[in-house]
Amino acid sequence: MAPTYSPRNKAGRLAQIVTMLSVNPDGLTQAEIARRLNVHRSTITRYIPDLPGYIYIDDLDDGKWKLDQSAYEFNICLNIHEAMAIHLATRLLATRMERQNPHAASAIRKLSFALEKIAPRISNHLQKSANAIDDPARKQDPTYLHSLETLTRAWAELRKVEVSHLSENGEIHDYVFSPYFIEPYAIGQSTYVFGLREPPGVIRTFKIERLTSVELTGAKFAIPDSFDPQTLLADAWGIWFTEEDPVEVVLRFTEKVARRVKETRWHQSEEVEDQPDGSLIWKAFISEPQEMLPWIRGWGADVEVMGPEGLRKALKREVQRLAQLYKMDITKG
C-alpha cells in the first residue's frame, strides 16, 4: 500500500527509500519502490546513479534494491545512564576478549565522540577502551575476524553459511550452518555461535575461534519461533547445554569466603544455606557441571564439591595430579 505522504524532491525520496529498505531486509524491486512512493518506475530508475554506497542492486535476486548492513550506519540516541551501561559493556569487551576487533573499537570511538561534550569523563574512558581493543599487543586473527563478519551478515540476512570446523582432535569437518545466535563467553575469552548444523540437522554450537573458513551461500533459512537462546542456556553455567535434565551441584564454601560467595548471584537456580560453623552450602541445577571446573578451581581449598559424584571425582583426580606435579605425599581418598 502506498504511503500517505511522498516527498516531491529526489533527496527526500532517496531518504524515504533508505527507510523502506531498512525495514525490508530482503529488499524491494524498483516496481515496489515506485508503487510505495507513488511515482512512475522510470523515476526510480533515474535515481540509480545517485544511490548511496550502502544501497546495492542484487542482480541475483530479481534486481532488488537492498541495504548493505555492513556499510549502513544506524543512528541511535542515548541518555547518560544508557551511555554508562554501554561503558560497562565495553569494559568487559576490552578486558575479557583477547583478539583485536576493529568494528568494536570503531563503535566505541563513535560513542566516545558523541559524549565528548556532555560526559567528558565517560567519553575519555570509552576512548581508552577502544584503544585497548586496538592494542597491537592483542592477538591479531584475520580468520576469526572474517568468520565473525560473515556470521554477522548471515545472521542479519538469514542466509546459510558453509563452515570448516577444527575439532579438538585436530580434524577439520565441513558443514552447512544456519546461525541463530552469537554469544560471547567471558570465561574462555571467546565467542560462540548457535544454530542448525547440517549434518546432523539439529542445533549445535561452534566456537568461532575454531572455524577455519566461513562462506556465505545463497540459501535462506528461518529461525524457528520456538528457538530462544535464554531458554536454551537457562541451565547452563556458561555456554554448554544439553537435552538431558540439569544436574544438581552442591558445594560447601568455608567461612573465609562465604560472604564473598553470597555477594554475587552466580546462577539463576542457585540456593544458599548458611551453616552453624560459618560455612555456606551452595546449590544449583547445571546442564554440564564440568563447565564449572575453572570457577571451582579458583576458590582453591575454600570450596569442597559435595555432589554430583562425577564432579567430586574430577576434582580429586586434579588434586592427585597436582600432588604428583609438586612431589607432595598425600593420602589418596
- Residue ranges of domains in the chain, CATH in brackets: 10-67 (1.10.10.10), 80-134 (no CATH), 143-225 (2.30.30.520), 247-325 (3.30.70)
- pLDDT given for residue 4 in this prediction: 41
Burial class (CB in 10 A: 0-12, 13-18, 19+), 128: middle
Percentage of the chain exceeding pLDDT 90: 61
Three-state SS string across 45-98, please? HCCHHHCCCCEEEECCCCCEEEECCCCCCCCCCCCHHHHHHHHHHHHHHHHHCC
Q: Is 246 left (phi over 0), alpha (psi -120 to 50) or beta?
A: beta
pLDDT digits (tens, 9 = 90+) for 5-49: 455 678 888 888 988 998 888 899 999 999 998 899 999 899 999
- pLDDT given for residue 6 in this prediction: 53
Three-state SS string across 296-321, please? HHHCHHHEEEEECHHHHHHHHHHHHH
Q: pLDDT under 70 in the chain at which residues?
A: 1-8, 330-333
- Name which of 185, 193, 191, 201 is nearest 237 in CA terms: 185
Per DSSP bridges, beta strands 211-220 and 202-207 are unpaired
- pLDDT given for residue 8 in this prediction: 64
- pLDDT given for residue 224 in this prediction: 95
